[in-house]
Chains A and B, each alone.
Chain A
Amino acid sequence: MAGMIGSPVKRKEDPRLITGNGYFTDDIKLPGMLYGTFLRSPHAHAVIKRIDASKARAFPGVAAVFTAAELADKMKAVPAMWFLPGCELKPKDRPALAADKVRYVGETIAFVVAKDRYVAKDALDLIEVDYEVLSAAVQQEQAMQEGAPQLFDDVPGNLALLWKAGEIPDEVFEQAEVVIKERFYNQRVVPNPMETRAAVAQYNPGGGEMTIWCTSQNPHIHRMIYADVLGIPESKLRIIAPDVGGGFGSKIATYSEEAVVACAARELKCPVKWVEERKEHFQATTHGRDEVIEVELAGKTDGTLTALRVKNTANLGAYLSTFGAGCPTIDFGLMVTGAYKIPQAAVVTYGVYTNTTPTDAYRGAGKPEATYQIERAIDLFADKIGMDPVEVRRINFVPKEAFPYGNAMGVTYDSGDYHLTLDKALEMLDYQALREEQEELRAQGRLVGIGFSTYVELCGFGPSAVAGAIGFQGGVWENSTVRVHPSGKVTVFTGTSPHGQGTATSFSQVVAEKLGIPIEDIELVHSDTQSVSMGWGTYGSRATAVGGAAVSIAADRVVEKAKKIAAHELETTVEEIDFTAGIFRVKGDPDRQRTFQEIAKSANFAWNLPPGVEPSLEGQSFFDPANFVYPFGTHICVVEVDAQTGEVFLMRYIAVDDVGRVINPLLAEGQVHGGIAQGVGQALWEGAVYDENGQLLSGTFMDYTMPKARFFPMIESAFTETLSPVNPLGAKGVGETGTTAAPPAVVNAVMDALKPFGVKNLDMPLTPQKVWRAIQNGREKQ
């Protein structure tokens, strides 16, 4: 169907989900299935002196209680998969269950399996554990200090990694006309997809096959890691991610719980289910961010930026998580110069183990932190030289004609036109008029602020050779098969693993356009390692740019083969065949034609194929892109601050995003809204707060503020389309734009609003109390 790409098609996924016919992991019920629940550490750092599970084992309805002792020779600890080279990385795997020491509140100690979840929960209360409580290292800078509690004997100073890229001599900053030095804390946030993690495992003791249904963003990565952890060959381990209720990065990681569930199913020869409670999610599923970022930005009074030096002290939590080493280094460090032609840049990252939940990718993973520091620093720079922050951005933008552009950190931006989104956003805002209004309101004592964020992010992972060079223990290509059935109906297989993105719709649009068939004739198969030969999953805004590209190429290959068959049947050459809107026609003789469906039948029946053409009609692609893709855009936030209470109210939010080719504008806008809500959430409300003992104070939805409907105005969203040369769709990626762009846009707006009080910087989240205090301090100084 022509015009499918770029059309706001209603989602194919929805009829199932809106009628209660979704199939999430907790919906699975197998005959004889048992239910498991984990005993978790109440202490952040303690030696386990004794575990006595005898009462729990004797409790009626309990099938087994596993502790580290029972699992010692049954499974391995769960390793990370990003081993950054050249940074003295000291990876620490997640133990299956804690044996002698616990290192964060929520670490698993025992697994109770019982006939139902009620009994399992009752038995859990009967397990006795004696702890020798140790003092905890919670905050990363403190954990690095001499005398701080040590998590591991062989990791002095709790320093897990030290990554350096580039060097700039001090003189550059000493001699610069203008230097901004600031410390930004990018606070720890909790991903909180609405579906928590869950797993169901079923083992066949006869053949040794294991199936794990789990909440995964990348089932093939889960298969690769758990195969090793469980000692089951990949050929006998099947991972299925059924409907998955959001991930935001937290379901990339491989965890010990899922592997323990599988191990228990194998031991008990019964299916076992485990579903994480929300309180457990807060403690046990990876967190995001938690980076102390110190920035030195040098420039000239004419507004030109000349050098950027950044130090990131990142809290990795108690163990090295799957992508944990990569987020604050590669993902962050390569993007610190943002959308600006800053000639010199250098980054050093300290990765630190602490007695907290391990951190890993969270929607954006490093890029939001990179964007935050440069977008905040540039506002401080503009303020210092007395120039409009918009003007400073314009002066320093990488110009349109410079693409492909190699930034100072060595990565090459594929395409861009940064003035384009800025101009459009300013027009939507009516900038000059708003600045005038702001002045009038200020005169009345009202605190209105305007904040900008002109971001660029690295996504669409990516060339596999680069992944290898940076120590990622896997590939990042993508796989698709487009299989045409005799009727002309099509099954598309993809290695990406959607969990809310609407990929079944957007990929079907690509195939519908390419094959000229109705979208209803196409079904997408994904997230099952037995159906899909290989794939690397959905994260890093890679689904469309890499997975979609593979689908597009595979569909092209179908057409290529179909044309040969059509030419044969129509007694002409392939060159003479024109394929449009699902019809193969002989050029100049359009009455001689075959429909796509006719050729599908011919190919599958194989009664009369041209010489050298094999039966069936199927295209396959293993697409490994030549580069990452670099979506960009301009977000503008307008806030009003209640001077009496410090509350921040969003008045307007404008997002102009350029994500390359937009396959489905409705879905793209949905991604933008959701990302902005999370980004604004980080800016204003969200934050995992630990006390000095490593207890999570904001550990439920009662005290961790999730963005709610009433916090937002209608977001004004628009797209421009600057195509990427990296893939045949010209697509970039839209999933992480909001979390990347929004935090600095919001904070810049609040800082602008607080200008009358001389407030330069406040760390996120900008809670009312924090803003109020800043206003108070400002008043006292005046």
Chain B
Amino acid sequence: MAKKVEVSVTVNGKAYSAEVEPRMLLVHFLRETLNLTGTHIGCDTSQCGACTVMVNGEAVKSCTMLAVQAAGCQVTTVEGLGEVGNLHPIQQSFWEKHGLQCGFCTPGVMIASIGLLQQNPNPSEEEIRDALEGVICRCTGYQFIVEAVKHAAQLMAVDETETGNALQIGEGR
């Protein structure tokens, strides 16, 4: 049995420390060790993006990262985006624009979308569709996801003029 290693990581603003097998995938660490089951696993080959989370502010696939690689990092999962009554603009938009059906891919799709909006706050339809390359949704045909991302961009632009801080996620949101 390979020696376990200590992993300290901040998830959704909260510090965690745990001994894990080095081979433990970040997605299993989040789901099994921390009981943050909002992040899902939809494939084995890093294609579907259901496991997408933010690591140090960048959208990454947590099925293709070891928990040990996240040591010392700030991780944000869907649970850290916002909660009912205080939703993140992306959550609000997915709800309003019917951007989800079964909801299984949705946490990953929302976080990948935030990843896009951080790089490109006002994306065109084509840019949104290209940015969704790393997620697969079997239910929606993507159209309402595209509209949700567009809508979120607008909400976040308004948010930014009001607070100057549209993209902050995790703590205090």
Binding site for B on A (CB under 8 A): 10-11, 13-22, 24, 26-27, 29, 60, 116, 118, 192-196, 243-246, 248, 275, 277-279, 499-502, 666-667, 669-670, 672-678, 700-702, 706-710, 712, 714-715, 738
Contact = CB atoms under 8 A, between A and B. Distances in A.
A248 B83 CA distance: 30
Contact residues of B: prevailing secondary structure: loop
Interface string B1-28: 1000000000000000000010110000
B75 interface: no
B169 interface: no
Given A19-B38, A674-B139, A702-B45, A708 B104 contact: no
A14 B138 contact: no
Interface in B73-95: 77-79, 81-84, 87, 91, 94-95
Q: Which 8 residue pairs spanning A and B have beta carbons closest together?
A: A20-B38, A245-B104, A500-B102, A17-B103, A673-B141, A677-B141, A701-B47, A20-B78
B102 A193 contact: yes
Contact of B100 (A17, A673, A701): A17
B37 interface: yes
A398 to B, nearest CB: 29
Nearest to B147: A714
8 contacts: A17-B100, A22-B103, A194-B136, A277-B44, A278-B45, A499-B102, A674-B101, A709-B137
Contact of B91 (A19, A499, A702): A19
Nearest to A678: B138
Given A26-B40, A500-B102, 18 more contacts: A10-B96, A14-B94, A20-B38, A26-B41, A243-B104, A499-B102, A500-B101, A501-B101, A502-B101, A673-B140, A677-B140, A700-B44, A700-B47, A701-B45, A702-B47, A708-B132, A709-B128, A710-B129
Contact of A11 (B32, B95, B132, B135): B95
B170 interface: no
Contacts of B91: 18-19
B37 A194 contact: no
Contacts of A277: 44
Nearest to B35: A29
A29 B33 CA distance: 11
Interface stretch (B54-62, B64-72, B105-113, B155-163): B105-113
Contacts of A118: 21, 23-24
Interface size range on B against A: 35 or more
Contacts of A21: 38, 79
Contact of A20 (B36, B105, B135): B36
Interface string B113-142: 000000000000110111011011111111
Given A19-B79, A19-B82, A702-B47, A14 B103 contact: yes
Contacts of A674: 101, 138-141
Contacts of B125: 714
B65 to A, nearest CB: 16
Nearest to B12: A20
B145 interface: yes
B86 to A, nearest CB: 10
A744 B37 CA distance: 40
Contacts of A192: 138
A706 B103 contact: no
B103 A712 contact: no
A673 B140 CA distance: 6
Contacts of B103: 13-14, 16-18, 22, 243, 245, 500
B41 to A, nearest CB: 7
Contacts of B50: 194
B39 interface: yes
Nearest to A279: B44
Contacts of A700: 43-45, 47
B146 interface: yes
Given A18-B91, A20-B107, A277-B44, A246 B141 contact: no
B95 A14 contact: yes
Contact of B132 (A10, A502, A710): A710
Nearest to B83: A19
B84 to A, nearest CB: 5
B165 interface: no
Contacts of B39: 20
A712 B143 contact: yes
B101 A670 contact: yes
Nearest to B104: A245
Contacts of A246: 101-102, 104, 138-139
A591 B133 CA distance: 61
A678 B107 CA distance: 22
B100 A666 contact: no
Given A10-B95, A674-B139, A701-B45, A18 B132 contact: no
A24 B77 CA distance: 17
A184 to B, nearest CB: 24
A29 B145 CA distance: 31
Contacts of B128: 709
Contact of B105 (A27, A194, A707, A712): A194
B143 A673 contact: yes
Nearest to A60: B1
B136 A706 contact: yes
A283 to B, nearest CB: 12
Nearest to A247: B102
Contacts of A678: 138, 141
A278 B40 contact: no
Given A18-B103, A195-B104, A499-B102, A712 B141 contact: yes
B37 A667 contact: no
Contacts of A275: 41
Nearest to B144: A670
A709 B146 contact: yes
A22 B105 CA distance: 11
A20 B133 contact: no
B153 interface: no
Contact of A194 (B48, B82, B126): B48
Nearest to B77: A20
B98 A194 contact: no
Contacts of B126: 710
A16 B84 CA distance: 8
A18 B79 CA distance: 9
Contacts of B77: 20
Contacts of B1: 60
A24 B140 CA distance: 19
Contacts of A15: 84, 95
B107 to A, nearest CB: 6
Contact of A18 (B95, B101, B135): B95
Contacts of B81: 19-20
Given A709-B132, A710-B129, A278 B102 contact: no
- Most central of B50, B102, B107, B135 by chain A CB within 10 Å: B102
A674 B43 CA distance: 20
B78 A701 contact: no
Given A194-B136, A195-B102, A502-B101, A677 B44 contact: no
B14 to A, nearest CB: 14
A499 B103 CA distance: 9
B87 A194 contact: no
A20 B37 contact: yes
A193 B1 CA distance: 36
- Most central of A14, A116, A118, A192 by chain B CB within 10 Å: A14
A499 B1 CA distance: 40
A224 to B, nearest CB: 25
Contacts of B38: 19-22
Contacts of A17: 100, 103, 106
Nearest to A244: B102
B40 A712 contact: no
A194 B129 contact: no
A500 B44 contact: no
Nearest to B24: A118
A460 B171 CA distance: 48
Given A11-B98, A13-B103, A707 B141 contact: yes
Contacts of A499: 102
